[in-house]
Chains A and B, each alone.
Chain A
Amino acid sequence: MKTPSRFTIIHRFVAFLGHIVRSYLRFLLLMIGASWGVFNEGMLPSTWRRPVRYEFWRSLRQVAGGGLLSVIVVAIITGFGIVAQAVFWLGFAGMNQMIGSVLSTVLVSEIAPVLVGVILLGRAGMLMLAEMSDLTMRGQMRTLSGLGIDPFLGFVVPRTLAMMLGGFTLGTFFSLIALAMGYVVCWVKGIVTVSIWSFMFQVVNSVHPLDYFGIPLKFLSSGFVVGLCCCLSGMDITTDDNMATLIPRGFSRGILSILIINVVVDIVLGSI
């Protein structure tokens, strides 16, 4: 009596594990394929028809305009927090003048892409996910297909690219504001006595030349994966799905995507 039940438990566990692995692998492949599709379609001039342009601008407005305030607030808080930490630890090590370079490496190239990605995910990505899944569940995606409007062209391409551009915009804002905030805090505390331009020069000098490519790439790719992940999660649903299962799944996938893409960019650029 005992052995079969143990087997059942093991069986169930393995099945669960397999299910998770398979579903994530499947989604990964889906993401890779769709990324290629988005770039491929985005290159073609015939993709940018009026409704696609309309959707692109609408999404961009929503992503960049809607997320701006959150990004400003978060940037101020982060700038403040990181500077406080950095000042403490650097003071510990007696390297207070390193503050600029520490800020630039830690804040701009590591924290900003992730935080901006998370803000994008929360502000716009979840909305996208809900909209797309709503359309899919109500069969309206199929309706659009029936009208000859490819949902990939009509929604996924413009929204993903808008997210990408929005990620870059918000990321730049975030970095600038956080750095400025950092400077202000340091200046008030008397740690930094140079002018803001010298401070910025110090920051700029401490950034590796490759990072001028890598940081924007991180912003762009964070936005891109969030957009794509949310669109695909919204469209890739089964009859068993509902909002209660979709939203958490989409969120976890989104977070995972952001972290993975940042790590991947780090590894790829670090190996160059």
Chain B
Amino acid sequence: MAEKTISQQFGPVLELIEARPVFDESGLTAARYNLSLGPGECVFIECRDETQRSQFTDLCVGLLPIGDGKVKCLGLDWQQLEERRAWALRGRIGRFFSTNSLIDLYGTHINILWPRMHHTRTPTKQLVAEAVRLGIRFGLPGLPTQVPSRLSVLDRRRAEYVRAFLGGPDLLLLEDPVALDPKELYEAFLSELTAAREKGCAVLWLASDRSVWRDYWQDGMQIFRLGDDGLIDMRGV
């Protein structure tokens, strides 16, 4: 019970307070970043640069060192968190990477189940059943067992969706997760996204093109643009 409350607090799931990353000549500029993301909330960030996108998500999961300011996830400050706890906290975040993130050492099924098996004691059977359910939802006939490189690009993306949504994360960091085409996948993605948000999962959606979320955008959702000048609030623009 005590564990559960952490995800159900009032406070934001992800919070960047005047966070200034250490500038290393590439990627994120050393501007001050401010962002607050509540449970069930969805934030869109438009960013054309892939490096900046991935560095920004790294900033959010405490992998990018910051000079000053604070980055908090579920109310826990990355900088003050013990290492083991920090790794575990990252396990509560579902990720979709823009680069190919499934590794060829293992079969795709291991890739999918890996984070959950690493962070939890959930019985493998239960995880497999959930993964299969999600896989079917995204248009896979089951849990793919071949190595990722043998799968088609679309199926790989489906597998990555399954991995991101598996286990009911508290926060989803999605780097350019979806394209309008194929439509069914797009819709399946949006419906799973909505279901996750219903359960209180906060979503940070980074994309290069705002057309992908045009259908999904609702009044009151935050939109930002990430560029060399930092994070610019685009609401009202």
Binding site for B on A (CB under 8 A): 46, 49-52, 54, 131, 135, 138-140, 142-150, 153-154
Q: Is B90 an interface residue (CB 8 A)?
A: yes
Q: Are B63 and A142 in contact (CB under 8 A)?
A: yes
**Given that A140-B103, A143-B97 are contacting pairs, would A51 and B118 also be in contact in the complex, using a CB cutoff of 8 Å?**
yes
Chain B 88-100, CB within 8 Å of chain A: the 1/0 string? Answer: 1111110101011
B22-36 CB contact bits vs A (8 Å, 1 = yes)? 000000000000000
Residue B57 CB within 8 A of the other chain: yes
Q: Specify the chain B residue showing the minimal Cβ separation from A150.
A: B87
State A158–B216 Cα separation when bound (angstroms): 44
A147 touches B115 (CB 8 A): yes
Taking CB atoms, residues of chain B closer than 8 Å to A149 are 87, 91, 114-115, 118
Instruction: Report whether A148 and B63 are in contact in the complex, using a CB–CB cutoff of 8 Å.
Output: no
Q: Which of B57, B101, B117 contacts A51 (CB 8 A)?
A: B117
Looking at the assembled complex, report how far the CB atom of A135 sits from the nearest CB atom of chain B, in whole angstroms.
6
Question: Is the pair A146, B100 in contact by a Cβ cutoff of 8 Å?
Answer: no
Given the complex, which residues of A lie within 8 Å of B209, measured CB to CB? none
Q: Is the pair A143, B118 in contact by a Cβ cutoff of 8 Å?
A: no
Interface size on B, residues (CB 8 A): 27
> A146-B90, A146-B173 are known contacts; what are 7 more A-B pairs with Cβ within 8 Å?
A51-B110, A140-B100, A142-B58, A143-B101, A146-B63, A146-B97, A147-B90
| Contact between chains at A145 and B115 (CB < 8 Å) | no
Give Cα distance in the complex from A49 to B63, angstroms: 22
In whole Å, how far is B58's beta carbon from the nearest beta carbon of chain A?
7
B235: CB under 8 A from chain A? Answer: no
Q: Is the CB of B101 within 8 A of A148?
A: no
Q: How far, in whole Å, are A153 and B84 apart by their CA atoms in the complex? A: 11
Residues of chain A lying within 8 A (CB to CB) of residue B173: 146
Give the contacting residue for B95; candidates A131, A135, A147; CB below 8 A: A147
Whether B61 is near chain A, meaning CB under 8 Å from some CB there, is yes
**Can you name 25 A-B residue pairings with CB atoms under 8 Å?**
A49-B118, A51-B110, A51-B114, A51-B117, A54-B110, A131-B105, A135-B103, A138-B99, A139-B99, A140-B100, A142-B58, A143-B95, A143-B99, A143-B101, A146-B58, A146-B63, A146-B95, A146-B97, A147-B91, A148-B61, A148-B88, A148-B93, A148-B118, A149-B91, A149-B115
Contacts of A131 in B (CB 8 A): 105
Interface flag for B119 (CB, 8 Å): yes
Chain B residues with CB under 8 A of A142: 58, 63
In the bound complex, do residue B115 and residue A148 qualify as a contact, i.e. CB atoms below 8 Å apart?
yes
Q: Mark B69-107, 1 if CB is under 8 A from A, else 0.
A: 000000000000000100111111101010111010100
Which residues of chain A have C-beta atoms less than 8 A from B117's C-beta? 49-51
Q: Does B124 contact A (CB under 8 A)?
A: yes
Contact for A138 among B58, B100, B115, CB less than 8 A: B100
- B110: which A residues are within 8 A, CB to CB? 51, 54
Closest residue of chain B to A53 (Cβ to Cβ) is B117
Nearest-neighbour CB distance to chain B for A126, whole angstroms, equals 15
Chain A residue numbers with a CB within 8 Å of B91 are 147-149
Residues on B with C-beta less than 8 A from A143 are 95, 97, 99, 101, 103
9 A-B pairs closest in CB distance: A148-B90, A148-B91, A143-B101, A50-B117, A147-B115, A51-B118, A148-B87, A140-B103, A150-B87
Contacts of B124 in A (CB 8 A): 50
B216, chain A: closest CB distance, angstroms: 24
Closest B residue, CB atoms, query A52 = B118
Q: Which residues of B contact A145 (CB under 8 A)?
A: 63, 90
Report chain A residues within 8 Å CB of B93: 148
Output the nearest chain A residue to B101 by Cβ-Cβ distance: A143
How many Å lie between the Cα of A93 and that of B103 in the bound state?
Answer: 60
Return chain A residues, CB-CB under 8 Å to B90. Answer: 145-148
